[in-house]
């Protein structure tokens, strides 16, 4: 790809004269901060976005890729981060979708299963062809996406953040499959924010920053910190400075909590644990094992069917979200777009939604505009929110900066308990570093922090204790987080291993 420029209709210059070259048969990683332009560049290669200018050469020949269809015809396949499968179809149906083997007017189911099995065997991508996509784990869905691209004849396979949602075991399986694909002559482009993975799997790595290509290195010449510095443009501290800290009282006490969802399924099953002041209790687990619902019950967004929740000496069981908040609980929600911010409201407004009716923001029933603006300025400065001023709608910020608005609001409420759900999902290395420092700062100041994250490396490095959820239950509480391996935690996450009830209770 040469001199690629992409200016979106809204004026954003996502790619600025980018040069990007891949060699046949290599695993080429592409890294960069949020908004650096990685996905845009790959969408141009896959024909779903047109470059404003620039050219693409494939095997020495100039090509024009105007659609996904044309990319596929040229042997280019892409797996997007948000999967595009049909959830109600079987795996085999999804693999062949678009060029189905037919028997008369109907899909030839048996042929589809056979095709899927053959491909799966050939590349070591284990799937169950007759299973409905909706019912299989994320790791398998991803393999289905890859098989689908292979079925359509991909030689160059673009994987956009494929490991973001995988357990260590699944990541290892994916890497084994990637190596097998390369042995079979395929070329892989691998996008990730996880530099450790990039170091492990790639042959070369290209770094983008602010729409430009900063450089391409042989991975053997790279280090995590060198890559981080190239991405961010400054030194980044990858190692967390976590002083030891005596924990305080059991601030949050959860006992035998049960929750049944709208579909009548028990998704939180007899969950009990404490979170102490001055500690970070991590909750690890593959997504979809009840963590989301647990957090929503604790924060008053859903009502439990049984069990108790107390904060200090007070029961907060079944209270409304605003009552829970008033009693001293801050919440960084998993889905910041629906629960975290009001997109059309300004940054200033978002920062005070929970306290607009209190001084200094409200005086004698009137909102003090001056106080709101002043608070906004202070937060933008203190939390390094990248925005010219507080009047901007939050919806126009990048993901990482939206997250900072939420964090600024929640932490400035001086909580007793902070519940952070997936606080760094999809945010880049600079914003992640910031978020981690903030969580540790709260803990060091004596706040009880409950951290729920599907990123195992993250929960393991931040947590003082680690609970693992599987299938709605807490299956382990690990007190010696420093001396447990990711693999072992992964076994708990997959439900292969679990502690006895007595062991868990001893670690409440």
Which chain residues interact with ligand ATP by CB under 6 A?
Answer: 8, 10, 12, 14, 32, 34-40, 399
| C-beta of 39 vs 438, nearer to Mg ion | 39
| C-beta of 39 vs 317, nearer to Mg ion | 39
Of 466, 465, 482, 475, residue with least CA distance to 496: 475
**In which residue are the tokens 């409440």 written?**
508
DSSP letter (8 states) at residue 475: E
Helix/strand/coil (H, E, C) string of 218-230? EHHHCCHHHHHHH
| C-beta of 14 vs 65, nearer to ligand ATP | 14
| Least distance in angstroms from the C-beta of 192 to Mg ion | 10
| C-beta of 38 vs 473, nearer to ligand ATP | 38
| Least distance in angstroms from the C-beta of 13 to ligand ATP | 8
| Least distance in angstroms from the C-beta of 50 to ligand ATP | 12
Residue 299 touches which of ligand ATP, Mg ion, none (Cβ within 5-8 Å per kind):
none
Q: Which of 39, 219, 317, 463 binds Mg ion (CB under 5 A)?
A: 39
> What does the alpha-carbon distance between residue 113 and residue 102 come to, in Å, rounded to a whole number?
13
Stretches 33-41, 214-222, 255-263, 274-282: which one binds Mg ion (CB under 5 A)?
33-41
CA angle 102, 105, 110 (to 5 degrees): 35
| Least distance in angstroms from the C-beta of 234 to ligand ATP | 18
- Taking residues 125 to 164 in sequence order and writing x for each that binds Mg ion by CB under 5 A, - otherwise, the string is ----------------------------------------
| Least distance in angstroms from the C-beta of 116 to Mg ion | 29
> What does the alpha-carbon distance between residue 187 and residue 147 come to, in Å, rounded to a whole number?
15
| C-beta of 47 vs 278, nearer to Mg ion | 47
> What does the alpha-carbon distance between residue 156 and residue 184 come to, in Å, rounded to a whole number?
12
3-state secondary structure of 269: strand
Residue 16, Cβ density class (10 Å: 0-12 exposed, 13-18 middle, ≥19 buried): middle
DSSP letter (8 states) at residue 181: H
Residue 36 touches which of ligand ATP, Mg ion, none (Cβ within 5-8 Å per kind):
ligand ATP
| Least distance in angstroms from the C-beta of 160 to Mg ion | 6
The two tokens of residue 392 are: 């901007």
| Least distance in angstroms from the C-beta of 44 to ligand ATP | 10
* Element housing 43 (H / E): helix 38-45
Residue 96, Cβ density class (10 Å: 0-12 exposed, 13-18 middle, ≥19 buried): buried
| C-beta of 38 vs 247, nearer to ligand ATP | 38
In the Cβ-directed half-sphere of 212, how many Cα atoms lie within 13 Å?
6
| C-beta of 34 vs 272, nearer to ligand ATP | 34
Of 198, 186, 214, residue with least CA distance to 161: 198
| C-beta of 8 vs 237, nearer to ligand ATP | 8
Of 319, 285, 324, residue with least CA distance to 456: 285
Residues numbered 92 to 111 that lie near Mg ion (CB under 5 A) are: none
The residues pairing with 330 across neighbouring beta strands, listed in sequence order, are 418
* Element housing 56 (H / E): strand 53-58
CA angle 35, 40, 44 (to 5 degrees): 170
| C-beta of 14 vs 379, nearer to ligand ATP | 14
With CB atoms as reference, the residue minimizing the distance to Mg ion is 39
> What does the alpha-carbon distance between residue 266 and residue 261 come to, in Å, rounded to a whole number?
6
Q: What share of the chain is helix, strand, coil (3-state, %, to 5)?
A: 35, 25, 40
| Least distance in angstroms from the C-beta of 14 to ligand ATP | 3
Of 33, 30, 37, 46, residue with least CA distance to 6: 37
| Least distance in angstroms from the C-beta of 36 to ligand ATP | 4
| Least distance in angstroms from the C-beta of 58 to ligand ATP | 21
Residue 168 touches which of Mg ion, ligand ATP, none (Cβ within 5-8 Å per kind):
none
Residue 10 touches which of Mg ion, ligand ATP, none (Cβ within 5-8 Å per kind):
ligand ATP
According to DSSP H, which parts of 419-472 are helical?
A: 429-444, 456-462
Residue 220 touches which of ligand ATP, Mg ion, none (Cβ within 5-8 Å per kind):
none
Stretches 31-39, 118-126, 228-236, 255-263: which one binds Mg ion (CB under 5 A)?
31-39
289 counts as binding Mg ion under rule CB under 5 A: no
**In which residue are the tokens 């141009």 written?**
44
| C-beta of 34 vs 317, nearer to ligand ATP | 34
473-478 vs 102-103, strand pairing mode: unpaired
Stretches 38-46, 195-203, 427-435, 472-480: which one binds Mg ion (CB under 5 A)?
38-46
**Contacts with Mg ion: how many residues (CB under 5 A)?**
1
| Least distance in angstroms from the C-beta of 73 to ligand ATP | 24
| C-beta of 76 vs 489, nearer to Mg ion | 76
Residues that bind Mg ion (CB under 5 A): 39
């Amino acid at each position: 790809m040469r001199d690629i420029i992409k200016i979106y209709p809204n004026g954003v210059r996502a790619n600025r004269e980018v040069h990007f070259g891949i060699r046949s048969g290599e695993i080429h990683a592409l890294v960069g901060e949020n908004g650096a332009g990685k996905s845009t560049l790959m969408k141009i290669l896959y024909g779903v976005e047109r470059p404003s200018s620039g050219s693409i050469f494939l095997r020495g020949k100039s090509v024009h890729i105007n659609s996904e269809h044309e990319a596929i015809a040229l042997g280019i396949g892409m797996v997007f981060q948000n999967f595009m499968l049909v959830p109600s179809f079987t795996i085999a149906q999804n693999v062949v979708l678009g060029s189905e083997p037919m028997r008369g007017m109907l899909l030839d189911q048996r042929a589809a299963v056979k095709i899927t099995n053959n491909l799966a065997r050939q590349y070591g991508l284990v799937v169950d062809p007759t299973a409905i996509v909706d019912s299989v784990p994320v790791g398998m869905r991803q393999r289905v996406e890859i098989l689908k691209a292979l079925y359509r004849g991909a030689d160059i396979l673009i994987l956009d953040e494929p490991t973001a949602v995988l357990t260590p075991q699944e990541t290892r399986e994916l890497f084994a499959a990637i190596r097998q694909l390369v042995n079979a002559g395929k070329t892989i482009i691998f996008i990730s924010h996880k530099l450790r993975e990039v170091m492990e799997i790639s042959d070369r790595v290209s770094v983008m920053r602010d729409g430009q290509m900063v450089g391409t290195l042989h991975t053997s010449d790279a280090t995590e910190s060198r890559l981080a510095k190239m991405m961010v443009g400054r030194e980044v501290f990858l190692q967390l400075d976590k002083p030891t800290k005596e924990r305080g009282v059991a601030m949050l006490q959860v006992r035998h909590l049960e929750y049944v969802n709208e579909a009548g399924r028990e998704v939180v099953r007899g969950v009990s644990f404490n979170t102490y002041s001055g500690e970070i209790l991590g909750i690890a687990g593959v997504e979809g094992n009840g963590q989301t619902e647990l957090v929503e019950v604790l924060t008053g967004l859903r009502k439990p069917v049984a069990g108790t929740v107390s904060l200090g000496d007070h029961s907060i069981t079944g209270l409304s979200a605003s009552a829970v908040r008033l009693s001293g609980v801050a919440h960084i929600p998993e889905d910041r777009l629906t629960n975290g911010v009001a997109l059309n409201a300004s940054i200033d407004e978002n920062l005070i939604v929970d306290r607009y009716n209190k001084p200094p923001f409200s005086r004698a029933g009137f909102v003090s505009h001056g106080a709101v603006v002043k608070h906004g300025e202070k937060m933008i400065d203190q939390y390094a929110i990248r925005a010219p001023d507080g009047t901007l709608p939050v919806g126009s910020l990048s993901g990482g900066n939206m997250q900072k608005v939420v964090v600024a609001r929640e932490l400035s409420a001086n909580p007793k308990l902070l519940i952070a759900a997936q606080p760094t999902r999809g945010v880049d290395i600079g914003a992640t570093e910031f978020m981690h420092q903030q969580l540790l700062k709260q803990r060091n100041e004596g706040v009880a922090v409950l951290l729920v994250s599907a990123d195992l490396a993250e929960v393991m490095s931040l947590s003082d204790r680690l609970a693992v959820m599987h299938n709605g239950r807490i299956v382990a509480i690990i007190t010696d987080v420093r001396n447990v391996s990711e693999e072992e935690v992964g076994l708990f996450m997959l439900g292969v291993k679990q502690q006895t009830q007595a062991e868990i209770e001893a670690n409440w």
